[in-house]
Amino acid sequence: MSRFAAPIAEQIWDMKYRLKEADGTPIDGTVEDTWRRIARALAEVETDKAAWEEKFYHALEDFKYLPAGRITAGAGTGRTVTLFNCFVMGTVPDSMSGIFDALKEAALTMQQGGGIGYDFSTIRPRGAEVKGVAADASGPLSFMDVWDAMCRTIMSAGSRRGAMMATMRCDHPDVEAFIEAKRDPARLRMFNLSVLVTDPFMDAVKADGPWDLVFGGKVYRTVQARDLWNKIMRNTYDFAEPGVIFIDRINKMNNLGYAETIAATNPCGEQPLPPYGACLLGSINLAMLVSNPFTAEAKLDPAALDNLVRLSVRMMDNVVDASRFPLPEQAHEARNKRRIGLGVTGLADALLMLGLRYGSAEAAAQTEAWMKAIARASYLASVDLAKEKGPFPLFDAEKYLATGNMLQMDEDVREAIRTHGIRNALLTSIAPTGTISLYAGNVSSGIEPVFAYAYTRKVLQKDGSRTEEEVVDYAVKMWRDLKGDAPLPDYFVNAQTLPPLEHVRMQAAAQKWIDSSISKTINCPEDISFDDFKEVYMAAWDQGCKGCTTYRPNAVTGSVLSVSESSEKTPSEAPQTAETNGGEVVYLSDPLDRPAALEGQTYKIKWPGSEHALYITINDIVIAGHRRPFEVFINSKNMEHFAWTVALTRMISAVFRRGGDVSFVVEELKAVFDPRGGAWMEGRYIPSILAAIGGVIEKHLVLIGFIEGEGMGLKADPKAEVVAARPSKACESCGSFDLRMVEGCMTCGSCGQSKCG
């Protein structure tokens, strides 16, 4: 009998976690083989390998403990991959050579599949003097554009998708430009953005006082703190970014405050990390630990929870020794502090099984109690590991016990740490679990409320047909199994109907006993007023949260919609036109033949350092009264360019002749990053000569009215199906319109694809 509770769970396993040969032949025959592979790999560092392998296997069995995706996919494979999910990179130096050394480190890390976080507050603001070169600085955002291009290039080379987090202090002179960066829909698409908000800033906001923007001890200008806060809020209200990180609170609550200063987080915010810090993640599946669900005797077994936490901590500690690292600095940082991030998933389902309404005071109290039990078990397990294997190298008992989360920890735990030390400096974090939650049978994700209790998913079969499949929340399936067709009780609430302040209540309840941080999205209704929206962030601050991320659906950020009927028709049945920025776009069933004569334009690119210029000719055709690109010719006297310019000419022309909105070609070319370095042209950094060609094509498309302006074209190749115009976006992996914001990540409910990997 299959261990999978739902077809989608098995599909996620097969697609993301099942070990296969290079040609796709499965090596893991069953999910039990996957559990065995992971258990054996993590027991390798133990003295009694066989005994611990069995214990680890039983922790993994039936999805009770869920290692993060990179461990599940990579442990025991022998492949050169990191088992750590995300990294905060080294401090970015305020020099050109230092900045590009940091870029190289980022590329090497992302190439191995790690998401990265960076604090760009260390780069001098735009317009600041650059001594010795008689020039003004271009500012941190110009370099963030370079990072953005690098990330897209790494992804296009086939690496596992990795997100990036960029942070900037609330007192940096360029913070206002940072706050408004996502108003340009084409800019910084690979980044999540968060403002590092300090305690003095929040005091100034509440007092409506002045706020200095400072760099290198120089005050560049003074603004009203409340005006700057309102600018953050307005952009977040309109564009879902930037997020807010309460950075002083994070540093005050850090167990390692005596040994490090934190200025950035991983891409989803649940792991504030020092330079070269790495996050190692895993989750206890609370939904699997509830006995007698939906009865008066329902309870979460405390002994089973304690035992599972202790095994999970040991497994995660072993990952520190078993994993590869992209950079030696990351390995050194991880082994000096042995930081892990054990969290939970299935919280909302577990609460439902106990008859508690997510968001209620009772549910918050139960959440806090569970998180405290997990914290105690984690710390005591780490003490036991310290007795056996030694404490983390930077452990200092008196400093450790006088810092951060330790100040509120129970005295028996403190005394055990004082006597024996502790193996892991930090132990708890609540990470995004969207994909592994689907893999575990569609349990509720992380500490989020249930997003949807059931929805219909259309599945593309091998013969090209589509079948419909109901995807049901784990707790709802259990209710149906026990109660039949009895209606769901009133305490079944979902992410869309839950009042935002109840989201905050649950986040604050969980945060109290989490020593790192939490990835959580506070879903707000589209019609929430701006004042009520701002209240959500102030409530998060007042209730002790370490950060706040919201999502309000609108025409800019998109909204969750099901696939329309027209999107499921074959191309021949579907409408043959659709509206885009440039007006009516014609979708062609067959490429057009070339007319005898076409009108066009020729452009010249003189790439710095190249002896010969490139000449780019773009010819157009008029269809249905609209001018559209038809072909491209790229020529140069430099014979080194001959092969790739011919190839590019043929490929782009073939795409143009197929019809439809072909503006995505621009974005694909603009994203190409040359590892040898780009060039500054007309006041902006162009990452490669191919990106320069993309810029020329974009200029031409604007000139002929095919797109409205720079950055206004498609960001990805449209699917073959023609869909009705809508504000929501299609999943890049499966093309369905089931994207949802979960734990700070745009995640597809149909296939599990997540922006954050």
Structure tokens at 372: 């405290």
Residue of 369, 506, 337, 343 lying closest to 428 (CA atoms): 343
Backbone φ, ψ for residue 754 (5° rounding): -130, 140
DSSP secondary structure, 193-236, as one string: EEEEE-HHHHHHHHHT-EEEEEETTEEEEEEEHHHHHHHHHHHH
Pairing of the two strands 745-748 and 599-605: unpaired
Opening angle at CA 705, ends 701 and 708, nearest 5: 85
- Exposed e or buried b for every residue in 605-626, given b needs 16+ CB within 10 A? bebeeeeeebebbbbbbeeeeb
Question: Listing from the earlier edge strand, what are the strands of the sheet with 626-636?
Answer: 599-605, 614-623, 626-636
CB burial of residue 256 (10 Å; 0-12, 13-18, 19+)? buried
Structure tokens at 729: 């976006």
Torsion of CA 232, 233, 238, 241, to 10 degrees: 50
- Exposed e or buried b for every residue in 430-451, given b needs 16+ CB within 10 A? bbbbbbbbbbbbbbbbbbbbbb
C-alpha–C-alpha distance, residues 194 and 245, integer Å: 6
Q: Which residue has the tokens 């993060």?
A: 68
Instruction: Write the CB contacts of 64 (distance below 8 Å, at least 6 apart in sequence).
Output: 284, 285, 288, 289, 308
- Exposed e or buried b for every residue in 314-326, given b needs 16+ CB within 10 A? bbbbbbbebbebb
C-alpha–C-alpha distance, residues 323 and 316, integer Å: 10
Backbone φ, ψ for residue 143 (5° rounding): -80, -30
Structure tokens at 24: 């796709």
Instruction: Write the CB contacts of 644 (distance below 8 Å, at least 6 apart in sequence).
Output: none
Confirm if 284 and 307 have CB atoms less than 8 A apart. Answer: no
**Candidate list 105, 270, 502, 668, residue with the active-site label:** 270
User: Which whole-number Å values give the CA distances from 412 to 253, 342, 380, 397, in the listed order?
Assistant: 20, 21, 9, 15
Pairing of the two strands 191-197 and 164-169: parallel
Confirm if 695 and 688 have CB atoms less than 8 A apart. Answer: no
Pairing of the two strands 281-285 and 115-119: unpaired
**Residue type present at position 519:** S
Continuous segment of H or E residues that includes residue 621: strand 614-623
Continuous segment of H or E residues that includes residue 698: helix 689-703
**Candidate list 192, 266, 405, 442, residue with the active-site label:** 266
**Candidate list 86, 170, 268, 545, residue with the active-site label:** 268
421 CB neighbour count, 10 Å cutoff = 19
Whether 526 is a known active-site residue: answer no
Q: Which residue has the tokens 């915010």?
A: 269
User: Which whole-number Å values give the CA distances from 224 to 203, 475, 497, 530, in the listed order?
Assistant: 12, 49, 35, 19
Structure tokens at 490: 């009133």
C-alpha–C-alpha distance, residues 564 and 583, integer Å: 22
Whether 21 is a known active-site residue: answer no
Whether 734 is a known active-site residue: answer no
C-alpha–C-alpha distance, residues 440 and 10, integer Å: 9
Pairing of the two strands 281-285 and 341-345: parallel
Catalytic residues: 266, 268, 270
